[in-house]
Amino acid sequence: METGIKDFARPVEASAVMELLPTRPHVLALGEPTHGEDTLLDLRNRFFRQLVEEQGYRTIALESDCLRALTVDAYVTSGEGPLDDVTERGFSHDWGGSRASRELVGWMRDFNADRPAHDHVRFAGIDGPLEITGAESPRQALTALHDYLTAHVDAELLPCTADRLDGLLGPDAPWTDQAAMTDPSQSIGRTPEARELRLVADDMVTLLETQAPHLAAVSSLDDRERAHLYGRTAVGLLRYHSWMADTSPSRMARLLATRDEMMAGNLLALAARGPVLVHAHNSHLQRDKSAMSMWGHPKVEWWSAGALVSTRLGDRYAHLATALGTMQHQGVDTPPPNTVEGILHALPEPQYVIDAAQLDTTVRHMGAVPRVSPYSGYAPLDPAHLRHIDGVVFVSDVPHG
């Protein structure tokens, strides 16, 4: 089996990846088995730079709040604000403090410095304004969309006034109450006001579509894309809050599916602008159903963003999964499924393995890391899903001589 690894190994380089694929994908997904590992983030940064410089990619999208990411995008395209403030406000999940995140943002700003706007690299988030403990108020998305429409269409076409919208939203605290994540009775997602807000959001999104020719004449492409982002986010957040108030056994599956549907919508919108590299957890990017257990609930399954996008894009979607960790080669005929050999056994022919430096090692465990991680229970890549994968990147978490 070791010979097989060497036969199919390739360097982790953009050109080698493209050789694996039938066409340059509109969405190239680089999945990680766990969050917060610097080795994987450094690989992401290096790979994106190669895609930009050699393959013409101009967008990177991360598993981060899509609205917060607008702050980072403004910085890398125009230099707005100090870097420390941008990384603090522009990332969710406390990832802005990462060295790799700062290096990525800094490199993007430097790359854009002397280039025309049409050649800029862009930054985006694919996640909704969500955390594992709850969700944000839809206020930002709804008011920003209402402001855009107010500035560009006749007032009588709007479904409500700004004052009425503010009254329906009420204070933000009930929307962001973390108790609602585990106790549906604490959610306000199905109050009469929340139900009316869902109709208002739907009407405003419809207005974006029905007024598209006019809006194209009176506003910039960036402004229109941002308005559609606000619309997708408002609709998704209100749907998410509604499912937080649900008491049926399918509640958690609905929440996870809604989150990934929001990710998929954002990815498809970005792909319409040009080829994009997306970096997120493997469970959000794989083509097969994802599964996880949390807070004592039975295992739930849902279709990931990758599965949804792949259904739309076909071979214009590609997923490379990364695996982290090492241990010595065991020399067994039927290796455990979580070793490199086991993963290779699960891969269809041709076996797509991207790994230049670790040919004599095997993966210790998909998702296992040498230190305690808050994400250690998050569902790792399942080797059984590898029949629908385009490549595996094996990354060592310890130095080798």
CA-to-CA distance for 381 and 85, rounded, in angstroms?
34
Is 70 exceeded by the pLDDT of residue 368? no
Which of the residue ranges 39-48, 252-261, 342-351 would you say has the lowest mean pLDDT?
Answer: 342-351
The token pair at 325 is 């960790």
Of all helices (H) and strands (E), which one includes residue 391? strand 391-395
Q: What one-character-per-residue DSSP string does 220-238 give? A: -HHHHHHHHHHHHHHHHHH
Q: How confident is the model over 69-127, as pLDDT tens digits?
A: 999 999 999 987 799 999 999 999 877 778 999 999 999 999 999 999 999 999 999 99
Is 70 exceeded by the pLDDT of residue 210? yes
Q: How confident is the model over 291-315, as pLDDT tens digits?
A: 887 666 678 999 999 999 999 999 9
Identity at 397, one-letter amino acid code: D
Contact between 252 and 293 under an 8 Å Cβ cutoff? The reply is: no
pLDDT of 371 reads 33
Of all helices (H) and strands (E), which one includes residue 122? strand 122-127
Question: CB atoms < 10 A from the CB of 53, how many?
Answer: 11
pTM: 0.89
CA-to-CA distance for 283 and 223, rounded, in angstroms?
32
- The percent of residues above 70 in pLDDT, for the chain, comes to 79
- The percent of residues above 90 in pLDDT, for the chain, comes to 64
CA-to-CA distance for 310 and 288, rounded, in angstroms?
10
- Give the CA radius of gyration of the chain: 22
Contact between 230 and 70 under an 8 Å Cβ cutoff? The reply is: no
Identity at 147, one-letter amino acid code: D
Is 90 exceeded by the pLDDT of residue 379? no
Higher pLDDT, 34 or 290: 290
Q: How confident is the model over 235-253, as pLDDT tens digits?
A: 999 999 999 999 999 999 9
